[in-house]
Structure 1
């Protein structure tokens, strides 16, 4: 069997869906693949080196972002051969390292989005072009090297859906009407993938926070997907006290603040699971394709490297302790492997030194 088939068989086993009993040890307690998101890099070899570092930390899965604007920059049908080779090399390296690779395609080219910036979504008349690019990409990489494909990144966030005016009562979430647009894009990709690669899972949502309202709007628009990609980030704690402005811990949720509940880790995941179960989608898994917290002292980050490590320990303690099995979470990917610029979410510092969170990741990786 190829890697993707092996991954799906392993996930079925770990989730208790086979007739065999789970073996004792960490995998039985934490039935999921822990991994990392690796960001796009200017130097192709750098991405490959980061894959090596991820494997050294004990990662078993990786999220590989692919930029549609770089893949098909000038016109429909003309793929950039050099970039395509770089992407293929990423998946080949992940395969050699035994990493289950989630392929994320997002960032539309100017010809597809009305000459806007790449975070803007494509125009509706180009949804089929996005789907075609995804299928051609999977063909080039090889479906046997892909664990799942993820359609767009955080479409419920204004940052990745055209910087529209935020939904009333939120900071960054898009108005719910835009879920219809995303559902149409998702359905175009889903249908194209199932015609060509019916066994390859398609992840929809890629939700920033546990945004059940947006998910409800997606389902109302008849969105088609196999499993739900989620990013259960924790929001800042706005209660007076020493933790004011810092990210809430993964086992916390300030339900008194109406802006907070979507931005919770454990409670957010539980809310998404309950929402799906109530709508007859108990078989839909929650794939955590991003989670984490920054180590900076900025609003909403952990405040220090030591605090970042504490957040990671709590999150992995929850997942390893039974949350992954209970909520049907087969994959959890920390955002991100390495710090870059002002972004301090990494497990490594920008100079390559391991952070306390990285040491905790290696210690607790199931």
Structure 2
């Protein structure tokens, strides 16, 4: 639950600061840093050879001159600090120094302080850093080498988003205005503040009204960007850790409008985009009626809430970020021995068991000194010292715990100075190395760019040369192809001309060839559909008729050969049909061998080959019969010639088409 202490303090301004900051310190040049560091190191080394080291005094006054060390907070879960809001309300500088002295006397080297926005920035934008002691506290704690955690909180009336929000100091601020304020703090105390918390317990309405995780996340984003703008990328010790959440323990009250439990609030932050805008989460695991280690089975206890938040952070990828306990303690009202011991026991248990939880960070015990020991107000009795600086038992618990971590190295101002200068020299060396590396990178980049340009140029030239060769080759190939085509066409034309001269033979021969081709291409059919015999008008007797027949047979053989080779017209008769047509001529008898006589076999008979004598007797009889019938055959030949002329006249209309086919056939055969 939200403790009474925090509700009560929500209505009071207890943080203040002094001092004015003007601009961020600029980095020195690499040369100046190197020269300064080297010179100072030589001088201090000379001093060290003649100076005896002394044990440091336990308390330092503000007038002591020491070398400033970079503030840092070790994020180990065994790191112990004190959350001390009272430092900002002390009017006496001596009391501020006393309070810091008492912290360091028990081994505490880290302090958490508050920076009130309300007390620091005026409406016109001017800052009043000298308002109270904030400037002095930060500078003095830093001078002592203490790690400083600063809390930004308390809204000025002029910066509220809702002007009608009358709850003092807790109105939801304009994110941009709050971001500007956070950036101003980071700029002024750069190198002095180690970490900054964004607000205090925003999951409770007395501290931030309304309770709105999304609104708080907008504040966080604006502050984170402004703070990180002042980090020195070359100096890790100069970086400021941004701590978000700063969540109080407790359960939901009024459905979360008065108080929202920390796990629900963190879930709302992630849903609003908080991932990537913080370096750690902080938690205030107060529970006045139960030790931290006894809460294992207590529903909605701070211990279980811590584990739930850890699991949620892991699920969003923030596995490397830690959860800090920036407030924990127990009031001792009423002030008696029982409450004093109870406070000591609770703190001892927490110091022992907090570090056992997964990825926890530093612890800050609230608080250093009672505001007013002996009153019934819990808020007045949270200190581990009484108001008059008497120790409560919790002081020894903290002292023993820090001592158990190992011996604390004595504080030697001269050694501290040397250490600080060595760090400066190291930083200067790093700057030089970075400069050399940057130069080398630039040179390498230039060489790479030049190489890429050369390669691209060579590639372009190569492509153009290859393209030219391809074009030339294509032109040559096309030229050769054209020459070959022209040559072939010339040969074809020459062949065609030769065949054209052959067609200028006597009319009688052309006619016979035409008739024969016509007969071959389109066999005449009778009315019954059967092929009719072809009459060629060729006779074995008569010189003219015999000559015509031989011419017709020769030309028909040419045509038939061309048709067989090219297969241009499937309707033309094949060789078997042509042989049957030639064999059908009654007057032509061809004897291939004088010694053999071919006798036509009858159906089912084998051919009979007669002797030579029998063939001679048959030939003599044939010659006698031929002489006797000569005159008769002449008359028949004349009649056949007249019949042939008549058929030629009838087929005159088809001569042109037949001659065209014969010409095409000759060309194809050629």
Shorter-normalised TM range = 0.7 to 0.9
**CA 44–158 in structure 1, closer or farther in 2 if over 3 Å, else same:** farther
**CA 75–352 in structure 1, closer or farther in 2 if over 3 Å, else same:** same
Q: CA deviation at 1:278?
A: 2.7
State which of 349, 352, 362 in structure 1 corresponds to 2:389: 352
Partner of 1:196: 230
Partner SS, residue 310 of structure 1: helix
State which of 37, 57, 70 in structure 2 corresponds to 1:3: 70
**CA 51–330 in structure 1, closer or farther in 2 if over 3 Å, else same:** same
Structure having the larger proportion of residues in strand? 1
**CA 47–69 in structure 1, closer or farther in 2 if over 3 Å, else same:** farther
TM (norm. structure 1) is: 0.76
**2:247 is the counterpart of 1:207:** yes
Partner of 2:144: 97
Does structure 2 conserve the Cα–Cα contact (< 8 Å) formed by 1:296 and 1:303?
Answer: no
Q: CA deviation at 1:88?
A: 2.5
Partner of 2:465: none
1-structure distance, mates of 2:83, 2:166: 26
Does structure 1 conserve the Cα–Cα contact (< 8 Å) formed by 2:84 and 2:111?
Answer: yes
**CA 127–49 in structure 1, closer or farther in 2 if over 3 Å, else same:** farther
* Within-5 A mapping of 1:40-55: 40-43=88-91, 45=93, 46-55=95-104
**2:128 is the counterpart of 1:80:** yes
Does structure 2 conserve the Cα–Cα contact (< 8 Å) formed by 1:61 and 1:331?
Answer: no
Does structure 2 conserve the Cα–Cα contact (< 8 Å) formed by 1:339 and 1:346?
Answer: yes
Q: CA deviation at 1:44?
A: 5.0
2-structure distance, mates of 1:345, 1:80: 30
Partner of 1:19: none
Partner of 1:59: 108
Does structure 2 conserve the Cα–Cα contact (< 8 Å) formed by 1:291 and 1:335?
Answer: yes
Partner SS, residue 181 of structure 2: helix
Does structure 2 conserve the Cα–Cα contact (< 8 Å) formed by 1:32 and 1:329?
Answer: no
**2:368 is the counterpart of 1:337:** yes
1-structure distance, mates of 2:396, 2:283: 25
Partner SS, residue 394 of structure 2: helix
Partner SS, residue 272 of structure 1: helix
State which of 231, 248, 251 in structure 1 corresponds to 2:293: 251
Q: CA deviation at 1:97?
A: 2.5
Q: CA deviation at 1:312?
A: 0.7
State which of 205, 209, 221 in structure 1 corresponds to 2:272: 221
1-structure distance, mates of 2:247, 2:342: 25
- Larger-gyration structure (1/2): 2
State which of 79, 84, 92 in structure 2 corresponds to 1:38: 84
Partner SS, residue 159 of structure 1: coil
Does structure 1 conserve the Cα–Cα contact (< 8 Å) formed by 2:195 and 2:241?
Answer: yes
2-structure distance, mates of 1:267, 1:122: 29
**CA 76–204 in structure 1, closer or farther in 2 if over 3 Å, else same:** farther
Partner of 2:345: 310
Does structure 2 conserve the Cα–Cα contact (< 8 Å) formed by 1:52 and 1:97?
Answer: no
| Stretches of structure 2 lacking an aligned partner (at least 5 in a row) | 1-67, 233-238, 250-260, 406-670
Q: CA deviation at 1:327?
A: 2.3
Partner SS, residue 77 of structure 1: coil
2-structure distance, mates of 1:44, 1:134: 27
Partner of 2:283: 230
2-structure distance, mates of 1:120, 1:271: 27
Q: CA deviation at 1:194?
A: 1.9
Does structure 1 conserve the Cα–Cα contact (< 8 Å) formed by 2:329 and 2:366?
Answer: yes
Partner SS, residue 114 of structure 2: strand
**2:193 is the counterpart of 1:139:** no
2-structure distance, mates of 1:283, 1:254: 24
Partner SS, residue 197 of structure 2: strand
Does structure 1 conserve the Cα–Cα contact (< 8 Å) formed by 2:80 and 2:364?
Answer: yes
**CA 254–119 in structure 1, closer or farther in 2 if over 3 Å, else same:** farther
**CA 212–296 in structure 1, closer or farther in 2 if over 3 Å, else same:** same
Does structure 2 conserve the Cα–Cα contact (< 8 Å) formed by 1:286 and 1:327?
Answer: no
2-structure distance, mates of 1:106, 1:315: 27
Does structure 1 conserve the Cα–Cα contact (< 8 Å) formed by 2:384 and 2:391?
Answer: yes
**CA 180–76 in structure 1, closer or farther in 2 if over 3 Å, else same:** farther
Q: CA deviation at 1:303?
A: 6.5
Partner SS, residue 179 of structure 2: helix
**CA 256–196 in structure 1, closer or farther in 2 if over 3 Å, else same:** closer
Partner SS, residue 269 of structure 2: helix
TM (norm. structure 2) is: 0.43
Partner of 1:239: none
**CA 44–229 in structure 1, closer or farther in 2 if over 3 Å, else same:** farther
Partner SS, residue 206 of structure 1: strand
Structure having the larger proportion of residues in helix? 2
